[in-house]
Amino acid sequence: MPVTLKVMRKTLRLLAITLAICACDRVKAPVYERVASGVWKVEVGTPDKVNLLNVLQTSPKFAAINALEEVPLPVDKDKITMEVFDGKTYLRFPLDRGERLYGLGLNFKSVAQRGSIKRLHVDHYGGSDNGRTHAPVPFFVSSKGYGVLINSARYIDVYAGTSVRKDSENPPEIKNRNADKDWSARPYSDNLEFLVPAKGAELVFFSGKTMLDVVKRFNLYNGGGPLPPKWGLGFWQRVPALFSEEDVYNEVGGFRERNFPLSVIGLEPGWMTCSYPCSYQWDTGRFPDPDGFVGRLADEGIKVNLWMNPGVAPGCDVAREVRPYTGTHTEWNGLLPDYSLPEVREIMGRCFRNNAIDKGVSGFKMDENDGYDSWFAPDVARYPSGISGEQMRQLYGSLMQRFMTELYREKNLRTYGLVRAGNAGTTSFPFVIYNDYYNHRDFITALVNCSFIGVLWTPEVRASKTSEEWLRRMQTVCFSPLAMLNAWADGTKPWSFPDVEERVKEVMTLRMRLIPYLYTAFARYALEGEPPVRAMALEPGFEGEAPNDQFMVGESLLVAPLFAGETERKVILPAGRWYDFYTGELAGTGEVITVAPGLDRIPVFVRDGGIIPMFDPMTNVPAGPCPVTACVYGKRAAACDLYDDDGLTYDYEKGAFTWIRLTADPASASGQAIVPEGGTVWSFSGYEFKFMTK
């Protein structure tokens, strides 16, 4: 073969190879469809019919989104790659030096996500932030001021600043491991890459003046946060699995006698005749008169919450009817209803109404819908709606949340409950995620992380090795979305550690006193998308990488918990003056301080000009109006808005709510509560101002 022919052949082959690596299914140039201020939708390839959001039928809060300041997308669209190849959707977002990434699921060990590799997969948390978690929300928020939701119910692979492309514009320095001491096994990467195992995906882009605005847009796009019924913010006690009616009365009596707050009693599997798998029918041995039982507790102002998990016992009343609408595989012998089907929602709805909701049961703890490969329907399962095992694993908890929310909504009643799985799109459902993992420090990291991804998390308390640990855990759970002692396994009481009994009671009582403040924080979540518990990275005036052990609660409180074994800790105070919550003294000004508060108290700080509206100490969430004390921090004029509504129904969605404006002037020691003209006040009988800073 003559040389020129050889060269030509080689050139052609090279061309073919170069084309091969670029070959991908025909993907149209991405169209950024503006759906609201700072929100754009992009379709890549041919997305699945079912996605994380469309099975839930929630609606974005467009008006609230549009009320946020509009800013353009702060990333060069030409540098974003979206391709379909090998039946999968490939996404690449460029990363700048110093750019920070947050979100990517309910992580327990890390807040900053740049440098992580994950496969987002609903699962029980197994001890590493590898993507297997109770809410592997495929949403990231970047410190550049944007975020992207990958709205796909698939196991999405994420390489968050770890992989290095041959064609990188910002390649890492090449080092020789033989000679360079600072050779690194993890060279610098300028890529955030995703692989969605489907031929397409819908992406939703969110921009914002700040990361907080990005998160608010994301939350509002998902329908805004839930507004729990006011009783939901009181103290919850779950009783041992096989407790009877009598046992529960005794438990409640214990709280009453000791003057400990109690709003909700949670029953565990033993309320049913069979579980697991679940009959969803009362065991009349342990509970001879369920209506009477629920009613008697209601008379004491205590709600009943019931445990359940997805598997329907084949022998129970509802099984025959629901069987055709269940998946191919079982969970602990239980049939798994396909909650995406209206038939299932009707059949199971009837079951839950008859057995529970119509009896006055306030809500549910929906266990084990996160699955676990060895018990939950495996990926090989299929469901009658046509949803695959993989998709259902990503959606099961979300679908149950939708189902249960709708059952209560039918009655114009809000519920508040617990769930083991969520995902993007569940933001508006009134369910708080929990698990069995029980590492206190990691529970707080999860509390920080839930604020990036539109879910709620409770660091529930179960048992402790020492009274110190017990107290530290009780302190943190009282500053979380759901303050609960879960004694299903061992019957622990808040007073089980006598040497810290009074301190535990104090922080539980503080929780009750803070209800006006907490309820307002939740109203902001519902109406404006602002998470009630937030990572420091979302706080204006906060610089640097977000810590995993301090967080904001509501507008003005900074909480910095201690963990067993610690006597002091560092607290990062954002810009401005910050005051000690308990004393009103100046704690610091945009600096890192060290606090050594002793066992008594969990360190809490209030921003300058913050007003914390509080009830008087009480053990029950009040049914009628009560006086409020507005605690004012700092020396300058202060103001806050206090939310109020009926605390129980969805009437607030039709405008039946009131924002009460509290203003205070420490200089003149005067304050004012302004109720807008014609505004109804449900919860407050008077306003007192207390100037905390001398």
Residue closer to its own copies by CB (options 396, 519) is 396
Residue 586 pairs with which residues in a beta bridge?
A: 579
Residues 6+ apart with CB under 8 A from 258: 495, 501, 505
Residue closer to its own copies by CB (options 162, 210) is 162
Out of 87, 127, 541, 679, the only residue in the binding site for its own copies (CB under 8 A) is: 87
Peptide bond before residue 277 is cis, with ω within 30 degrees of 0: yes
Considering the rule CB under 8 A, would residue 276 count as an interface residue with its own copies? yes
Subset of 107-146 contacting its own copies (CB under 8 A):
117
Residue closer to its own copies by CB (options 158, 432) is 158
Contact range with its own copies by CB under 8 A, out of 179-187, 211-219, 467-475, 534-542? 179-187
Rounded to 5 degrees, what are φ and ψ at 70? -85, 130
Residue closer to its own copies by CB (options 91, 141) is 91
Considering the rule CB under 8 A, would residue 288 count as an interface residue with its own copies? no
Subset of 332-351 contacting its own copies (CB under 8 A):
332-333, 335, 341, 343
Element (H, E) at 665: strand 657-665
Out of 86, 246, 410, 568, the only residue in the binding site for its own copies (CB under 8 A) is: 86
Min CB(267)–its own copies separation in Å: 12
Min CB(545)–its own copies separation in Å: 20
Considering the rule CB under 8 A, would residue 17 count as an interface residue with its own copies? yes
Tokens of 137: 């929300």
Q: At what angle do helices 440-453 and 467-477 cross, to 10 degrees?
A: 10
Out of 1, 21, 29, 592, the only residue in the binding site for its own copies (CB under 8 A) is: 21
Considering the rule CB under 8 A, would residue 280 count as an interface residue with its own copies? no
DSSP state of 357: G
Tokens of 542: 């906060």
CA atoms of 345 and 220, how far apart (whole Å): 26
Min CB(379)–its own copies separation in Å: 5
3-state secondary structure at position 693: coil
Out of 61, 92, 473, 534, the only residue in the binding site for its own copies (CB under 8 A) is: 92
CA 317 from centre of chain: 34
Mask of contacts with its own copies, 412-451, x by CB under 8 A?
----------------------------------------
Residue closer to its own copies by CB (options 205, 383) is 383
3-state secondary structure at position 690: strand
DSSP state of 239: P
CA atoms of 117 and 89, how far apart (whole Å): 17
Considering the rule CB under 8 A, would residue 567 count as an interface residue with its own copies? no
Residue closer to its own copies by CB (options 180, 499) is 180
The site for its own copies, by CB under 8 A, has a size of 84
Min CB(186)–its own copies separation in Å: 6
Subset of 254-273 contacting its own copies (CB under 8 A):
269-270, 272-273
Considering the rule CB under 8 A, would residue 37 count as an interface residue with its own copies? no
Min CB(328)–its own copies separation in Å: 6
Out of 172, 288, 540, 686, the only residue in the binding site for its own copies (CB under 8 A) is: 172
Min CB(451)–its own copies separation in Å: 27
Considering the rule CB under 8 A, would residue 6 count as an interface residue with its own copies? no
Considering the rule CB under 8 A, would residue 244 count as an interface residue with its own copies? no
Amino acid in the structure at residue 581: F
Min CB(374)–its own copies separation in Å: 5
Cβ atoms 654, 648 nearer than 8 A: no
Residue closer to its own copies by CB (options 90, 581) is 90
Considering the rule CB under 8 A, would residue 667 count as an interface residue with its own copies? no
Q: Determine the Cα angle at 526 with ends 482 and 216, to 5°.
A: 105
Residues 6+ apart with CB under 8 A from 489: 240, 241, 462, 463
Min CB(247)–its own copies separation in Å: 14
Q: DSSP readout, 539-601?
A: STT--SSPPSS-EEETTTEEE----TT-S-EEEE--SSEEEETTT--EEEESSEEEE--TTT-
Out of 313, 366, 444, 546, the only residue in the binding site for its own copies (CB under 8 A) is: 313
Residue for token pair 């090279």: 14
Peptide bond before residue 32 is cis, with ω within 30 degrees of 0: no
Contact range with its own copies by CB under 8 A, out of 182-190, 426-434, 557-565, 619-627? 182-190
- Count of CA atoms in the C-beta half-sphere (13 A) of 322: 31
Residue closer to its own copies by CB (options 159, 408) is 159
Out of 381, 444, 527, 553, the only residue in the binding site for its own copies (CB under 8 A) is: 381
Out of 378, 491, 597, 617, the only residue in the binding site for its own copies (CB under 8 A) is: 378
Q: What is the rounded radius of gyration, in angstroms, for the C-alpha atoms of the chain? A: 26
Out of 314, 491, 590, 617, the only residue in the binding site for its own copies (CB under 8 A) is: 314
CA atoms of 49 and 392, how far apart (whole Å): 13
Out of 36, 38, 90, 137, the only residue in the binding site for its own copies (CB under 8 A) is: 90
Residue 465, classified by CB atoms within 10 Å of its CB into exposed (0-12), middle (13-18) or buried (19+), is: exposed
DSSP state of 303: E
CA atoms of 533 and 435, how far apart (whole Å): 18
CA atoms of 200 and 83, how far apart (whole Å): 8
Considering the rule CB under 8 A, would residue 409 count as an interface residue with its own copies? no
CA atoms of 122 and 3, how far apart (whole Å): 59
Out of 6, 34, 79, 175, the only residue in the binding site for its own copies (CB under 8 A) is: 175
Considering the rule CB under 8 A, would residue 283 count as an interface residue with its own copies? yes
Min CB(195)–its own copies separation in Å: 5
Residue closer to its own copies by CB (options 97, 654) is 97
Contact range with its own copies by CB under 8 A, out of 54-62, 183-191, 227-235, 298-306? 183-191
Min CB(179)–its own copies separation in Å: 8
Q: Determine the Cα angle at 151 with ends 63 and 140, to 5°.
A: 80
Considering the rule CB under 8 A, would residue 20 count as an interface residue with its own copies? yes
Q: Edge-to-edge, what's the strand order for the sheet holding 670-674?
A: 638-645, 657-665, 670-674
Q: What is the dihedral of CA 528, 530, 531, 537, to 10 degrees?
A: 170
DSSP state of 461: B
Out of 45, 232, 277, 425, the only residue in the binding site for its own copies (CB under 8 A) is: 277
Residue for token pair 């505004």: 679
Min CB(20)–its own copies separation in Å: 5
Subset of 196-235 contacting its own copies (CB under 8 A):
197-199
Considering the rule CB under 8 A, would residue 242 count as an interface residue with its own copies? yes
Min CB(97)–its own copies separation in Å: 17
Nearest to 367 by CA among 480, 268, 492, 226: 268
